[in-house]
C-alpha cells in the first residue's frame, strides 16, 4: 500500500499550524468543489483527496497518529506490522475497511483504502452527505452549498512588555490586538449561495465569492483588550485568556489568546529567572569606611549597610526579595553588585585632603594594587 502524503495534498509543511491547515483546505476546497466544476472528473477526484487530507490533518488526534504512521513507513516497517500496531492502538475501526493487502483503491464512501484502513472512516460527525462532498472547517460534516458545522476560531499569540516592578506586584495593561474572526456574512465558507431560480431553495444553486471577506472566510479585525498581569510572572511566561482569540460563530467557538511576558529594559534591575540584580554605585569613601545607603528594591526602598573595605564587584544578597514565589517556583533573591566610584569634581580643599590621604598610605607602604599584574 502506498503511503498518502496528506501534507503534500494540502500544500503545507509538516510544522503547519491548525490555522494554516484550515486556510489551505478552504482555498483548495473552493477551487475544486464539484458544484463549481461540473462534469470535471479530475476536479472531483482532487476534491476527494483534499477532503480526506483535512479529515486527518484537521483533527489533532488523527494528525498525531498520522505523523507516527508516516514515521513507520519512512523506517521501512512492514505494512502488516504497521497495520497490527494501529489495530492495537485503536488507530482504525476494526469493523470497517478492507483486509490487509488490499489494493489502494477508493471505496464507495469516497475515501481511499489507506484512509479506511488506518483511520476507520470519517467517524462521528464527519460523514459526508448528498454526493459525499464535505466542506468541513471544524471536523464535523457540512457542505459548502448547505449548512456546515461552525469551526473553532484560531488562537491568537501576542507579547506584552512589563517592567520588573510590574512583574513583582502585577498590574493592568491595555492591549491593541489584530485578530482573525470568522466572517459573519458567509459563515466562514468564503462563498455566498443562492437558488438559480427564485423560490426554489432545493433546486440548483450558484455560488459567488463573499464580498465582505473576499472569499477568505475570515476577517482581520482590530480590538482593544484590558488584561490583568498576575504578580510574579517571569520572562517568557505565558498567560492564556480563554475565548479572547479569534471570534467564531458563537462564543464557545472563540479561540484563545496566549500572551508571552517580556521585560522592558530597566536602569535599576536585570532579571535572571526569579532573581533580580542591581548594580549599586557607592563612593570610594563609603566603600572604605562603611556606610548605610538607600537602595532600590522591586517594591520600594530599603536602608542597606555597606561593610567597610568593600570593593567593586562585591555582591550582597537579600534572600527572597526577588520575584515572588509562583506555583512550584520559590521566590527569587535580590542581589546588589557594588560599583565603587571616585568623586571627580573636587574642590581645592577636598583635593588637598585626598593628597594627604595618598601621602599617608604611601608612607605606610600600602601594597601596590597592580603588583599581581606585573608578575606575569
- Is residue 205 within 8 A of residue 234, CB to CB? The reply is no
Domain boundaries defined on the chain: 1-149, 152-264, 270-374
* Whole-number Å distance between alpha carbons of 61 and 96: 19
* Lookup: cell for 297: 528594591
Residue 146, pLDDT > 90, answer no
Question: 85 falls in which pLDDT band (50, 70, 90)?
Answer: low
Distance (Å) of CA 194 to CA 199, 206, 210, 249: 10, 6, 12, 21
pLDDT at 319 over 50: yes
pLDDT at 313 over 90: yes
Contact yes or no for 166/229 (Cβ under 8 A): yes
**Beta 334-341 vs 275-283: how paired, if at all?**
parallel
Residues 34-68 pLDDT 10s: 777 878 889 888 888 888 888 888 888 888 888 87
Mean pLDDT, rounded, of the chain: 78
- DSSP state string for 175-224: EEEEEEEE-TTTTTSSEEEEESSTT-TTS-EEEEE-TTTTTSSEEEEEEE
Q: Return the C-alpha torsion angle 199, 205, 206, 208, nearest 10.
A: 80
Whether the predicted pLDDT of 210 surpasses 80: yes
Give the CATH number of domain 1-149; options: 3.40.50.2300, 3.40.50.300, 1.10.287.110, 3.20.20.140: 1.10.287.110
Residue 83 has pLDDT above 60, yes or no: no
What angle is formed at CA 138 by the lines to CA 25 and CA 221, rounded to 5 degrees?
80
Alpha helices in the chain (DSSP H): 6-10, 18-32, 41-57, 60-74, 79-88, 113-119, 164-169, 284-289, 348-363, 371-374
Handedness of CA 369, 373, 374, 375 (dihedral sign): positive
The answer, yes or no, to whether residue 107 has pLDDT greater than 80, is no
CATH topology of domain 152-264: HSP40/DNAj peptide-binding domain (2.60.260)
Give pTM, 2 decimals: 0.52
Query: Phi and psi dihedrals of 94, rounded to 5?
Result: -65, -20
pLDDT greater at residue 155 or residue 144: 155
Identical topology for domains 1-149 and 270-374: no
Q: Are 24 and 9 in contact (CB under 8 A)?
A: no
Q: Read out DSSP for 84-141?
A: HHHHHTT-S-TTSSPPTT--S---TTSS-HHHHHHH-SS-TT----TTT----SSSS-
Q: Which residue has the higher pLDDT, 255 or 149?
A: 255
Phi, psi of 229 (to 5 degrees): -95, 115
pLDDT attached to residue 373: 84
Which candidate, 262, 251, 84, places its Cα nearest to that of 163? Answer: 262
pLDDT attached to residue 372: 83
| pLDDT at res. 44 | 85
Q: Long-range contacts for 65-72 (Cβ within 8 Å, ≥24 apart)?
A: 65/89, 65/91, 65/118, 65/119, 66/6, 66/118, 66/119, 67/14, 69/3, 69/118, 70/3, 70/5
Provide Rg for the chain, Cα atoms: 34
Q: How far apart are CA 312 and CA 284, in angstroms?
A: 9
Closest to 337 (Cα-Cα) out of 318, 311, 315, 322: 315
Q: What is the CATH number of domain 270-374?
A: 2.60.260.20
Closest CA to 3 of 72, 56, 50: 72
Q: Residue 222 — φ and ψ, nearest 5°?
A: -105, 135
Q: Is the pLDDT at 244 greater than 80, yes or no?
A: yes
Residue-wise over 273-287: b if at least 16 C-beta within 10 A, else e?
ebbbbbebebeeebb
**Given this model, what pLDDT does residue 129 score?**
33
CA 259 and chain centroid, separation: 8
Amino acid at each position: 500500500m502506498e503511503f498518502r502524503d496528506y501534507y503534500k495534498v494540502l500544500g503545507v509543511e509538516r510544522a503547519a499550524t491548525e490555522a494554516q491547515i484550515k486556510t489551505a483546505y478552504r482555498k483548495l476546497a473552493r477551487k475544486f468543489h464539484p458544484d463549481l466544476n461540473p462534469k470535471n472528473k479530475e476536479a472531483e477526484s482532487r476534491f476527494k483527496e483534499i477532503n480526506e487530507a483535512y479529515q486527518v490533518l484537521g483533527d489533532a488526534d488523527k494528525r498525531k497518529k498520522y505523523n507516527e504512521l508516516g514515521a513507520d513507513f519512512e523506517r521501512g516497517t512492514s505494512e502488516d506490522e504497521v497495520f497490527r500496531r494501529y489495530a492495537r492502538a485503536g488507530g482504525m475501526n476494526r469493523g470497517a475497511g478492507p483486509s490487509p493487502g488490499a489494493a489502494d483503491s477508493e471505496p464507495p464512501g469516497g475515501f481511499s483504502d489507506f484512509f479506511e484502513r488506518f483511520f476507520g472512516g470519517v467517524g462521528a460527525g464527519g460523514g459526508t452527505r448528498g454526493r459525499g462532498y464535505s466542506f468541513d472547517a471544524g471536523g464535523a460534516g457540512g457542505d459548502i452549498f448547505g449548512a456546515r458545522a461552525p469551526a473553532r476560531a484560531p488562537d491568537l499569540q501576542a507579547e506584552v512588555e512589563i517592567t520588573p516592578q510590574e512583574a513583582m506586584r502585577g498590574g493592568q495593561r491595555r492591549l491593541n490586538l489584530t485578530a482573525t474572526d470568522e466572517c459573519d456574512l458567509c459563515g466562514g465558507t468564503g462563498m455566498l449561495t443562492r437558488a438559480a431560480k427564485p423560490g426554489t431553495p432545493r433546486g440548483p444553486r450558484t455560488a459567488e465569492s463573499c464580498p465582505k471577506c473576499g472569499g477568505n472566510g475570515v476577517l482581520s479585525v482590530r480590538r482593544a483588550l484590558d488584561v490583568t498581569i498576575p504578580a510574579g510572572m517571569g520572562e517568557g511566561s505565558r498567560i492564556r485568556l480563554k475565548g479572547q482569540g479569534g471570534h467564531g460563530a458563537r462564543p464557545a467557538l472563540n479561540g484563545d489568546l496566549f500572551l508571552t511576558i517580556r521585560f522592558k529594559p530597566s536602569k535599576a534591575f536585570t532579571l535572571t529567572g526569579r532573581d533580580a540584580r542591581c548594580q549599586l554605585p557607592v563612593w570610594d569613601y563609603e566603600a572604605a569606611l562603611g556606610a548605610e545607603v538607600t537602595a532600590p528594591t522591586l517594591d520600594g526602598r530599603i536602608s542597606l549597610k555597606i561593610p567597610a573595605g568593600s570593593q567593586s564587584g562585591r555582591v550582597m544578597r537579600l534572600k527572597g526579595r526577588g520575584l515572588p514565589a509562583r506555583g512550584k517556583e520559590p521566590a527569587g533573591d535580590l542581589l546588589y553588585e557594588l560599583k565603587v566610584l571616585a568623586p571627580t569634581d573636587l574642590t581645592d580643599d577636598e583635593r588637598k585632603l585626598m593628597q594627604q590621604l595618598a601621602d599617608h598610605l604611601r608612607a605606610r607602604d600600602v601594597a601596590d594594587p597592580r603588583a599581581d599584574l606585573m608578575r606575569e
